[in-house]
Amino acid sequence: MGPIWAYRGNIMKKQITTKNIVTTGLLLALEVILQVMGNYLQFGQININVSLLAVVMAAALCGPLSGGIVGFFNGIMALVSPSTAFFMSISPIGTFITCLLKCTLAGVVAGLLFNLIIKKNRFIALIVAGLIVPIVNTGIFSICCFIFFRSFLQSGAEEASSNMLAYLLIGVIGINFIVEIIATTILSTATYPVIAKREKAA
């Protein structure tokens, strides 16, 4: 047990450094800016969510702990978003759990995968992180919808003459997920020079 706990302790020490704390703080501020920007970035009826970029950068620059922290803050920001009011009316507890869990886990998973893949290829690691954040984020949201908002899915599916899974994928998630994953991946790869420079300086 000793060597295992020592190994975990070394990983935590590598993540909790002054540089990482400062970087995480800056990315939390960026998260606020991107959340506000996202309210005005629309293509027709589609809202383009760019706030996940801060989560990807935190996971890549500082590791899974920072990715989880910025992801958790993303969830807090989502809780005060006007679009969350509808879900609050159905299940306040479910809304809290969904908002705080989905992006927190996305940041942690992205950080773990980035640290694993970067040993082979830094650019591929960044692409994977950019893909995994919206995928995990949407995946957890979908699972929570079936757990906490089943009545909403059921009524919506009946109106659309469809089953609940099809209604969730088309009616609730729809093209927004596709736009989100494309936007996050493109923006993430654009930060590659920053990631590469920091890794070389480490």
At residue 191 the predicted structure's pLDDT band, cuts being 50, 70 and 90, is confident
- Looking at the predicted structure, is the pLDDT value of residue 202 above 70? no
Distances (CA, A) of 58 to 43, 52, 186, 188: 27, 10, 16, 11
In this structure, the chain runs to a length of 202
Residue in this structure with the two tokens 């606020």, named with its chain if needed: 32
How does residue 7 score in pLDDT terms, banded at 50, 70 and 90?
very low
Count other Cβ atoms within 10 Å, centred on residue 26: 14
> Does position 19 have pLDDT exceeding 90, yes or no?
no
State the pLDDT at residue 2.
46
In the chain, pLDDT over 90 holds for what percent of residues?
45
Mean pLDDT of 12-28: 80
Q: Which pLDDT does position 1 carry in this prediction?
A: 43
Question: Which residue from 146, 202, 190 is spatially nearest to 172, judged by alpha carbons?
Answer: 146
pTM beyond 0.75, yes or no = yes
The closest alpha carbon to 60, from 136, 126, 135, 148, belongs to 126
* Mean pLDDT to the nearest integer, 113-133: 93
In the chain the domains, ranked by start, together with CATH numbers, are: 2-201 (1.10.1760.20)
* Highest mean pLDDT out of 22-31, 42-51, 101-110, 181-190: 101-110
pLDDT above 80 for 117:
yes
Q: Share the mean pLDDT of the chain.
A: 84
φ/ψ of 22, rounded to 5, equals: -65, -45
pLDDT at 8 over 60: no
pLDDT in tens, 52-82: 999 999 999 999 999 999 999 999 998 988 8
Provide the pLDDT for residue 40: 62
pLDDT on residue 155? 87
Q: Which residues contact 44 (CB under 8 A, 6 or more apart)?
A: none
